[in-house]
Amino acid sequence: MNLFTILRQHVATQPNAIASRSSRRVVTYRKFWSRIERATARLKSEWHVKAGDTVVYWGQGHQDALMFYIAVARCGAKLLPLEHAPLHLESLAILKNIPAVLLLHDDETIFEVPPAAPVIANLSSLIATRCHHTPSVIEDFTQPSLISLLVLENGGLRVEEQSLQQLMESSTARLQSNAAQEFRIAEALFDADIFAPQVLPVLVNGGTIIFR
């Protein structure tokens, strides 16, 4: 099952249905996919993100982070979400072991010491201006696209990479049941018990993800 194709089908069949909403904005499926395409173009053409690269999301449960991940997956790159304080505290070691080409953060984030990434920008800048490039995109949902991290008690890290295909397969049981038509993000978006089992089924079914 290909999320890219499913989202395009939603654009064709229910363009004005609400993909996500928050106190900031309401985003229809038409606008959601348009922003994914704009983000893909900026990632590839302006920030030169290539297949296999790692990019970082530093924040917690922002509405635009969902679009960011899907755009990253379309580029064949991997998203490393740093959404929890322990990961922020260990970021120096994390980014030394997992070098990133780009870090996007929630707009209200203030760094005492900037993370070790060559490019650091606000998440909102991903879609703030239109990219005038139209790069070719080879959508391969079998490529690793999400990096999960767990800080162990001994200070070590457990790293797991998953592709969009694996994430979709892990949510199969939920997809085959009567999945909810909406889901509310309380804090983190990319936690293992949130993203695949809760968020993806709602998107596949054309429902709404609700953010703070």
The answer to whether residue 212 sits within a structural domain is no
Tell me how far apart the alpha carbons of residues 52 and 104 are, in angstroms, rounded to a whole number.
17
The answer to whether residue 82 sits within a structural domain is yes
Q: Which segment of 107-111, 114-118, 139-143, 150-154 scores lowest on mean pLDDT? A: 150-154
Tell me how far apart the alpha carbons of residues 202 and 180 are, in angstroms, rounded to a whole number.
6
Structural domain tally of the chain?
1
- Rounded to two decimals, the pTM is 0.93
The answer to whether residue 210 sits within a structural domain is no
Which range of residues forms the domain containing residue 44?
A: 3-205
The answer to whether residue 154 sits within a structural domain is yes
Q: ∠ CA(4), CA(178), CA(185), 5° rounding?
A: 65
Q: What's residue 177's pLDDT?
A: 58
The answer to whether residue 108 sits within a structural domain is yes
Query: Does position 157 have pLDDT exceeding 70, yes or no?
Result: yes
Tell me how far apart the alpha carbons of residues 112 and 208 are, in angstroms, rounded to a whole number.
35
Tell me how far apart the alpha carbons of residues 57 and 55 are, in angstroms, rounded to a whole number.
7
Query: Does position 150 have pLDDT exceeding 90, yes or no?
Result: no
The answer to whether residue 80 sits within a structural domain is yes
Q: pLDDT (tens digit, 9 = 90+) per residue, 78-124? A: 999 999 998 999 899 899 999 999 999 999 999 988 999 999 999 99
The answer to whether residue 101 sits within a structural domain is yes
The answer to whether residue 31 sits within a structural domain is yes
Kindly report the CATH number assigned to the domain that includes residue 138: 3.40.50.12780
DSSP states along 21-81: E-SS-EEEHHHHHHHHHHHHHIIIIIS---TT-EEEEESSS-HHHHHHHHHHHHTT-EEEE
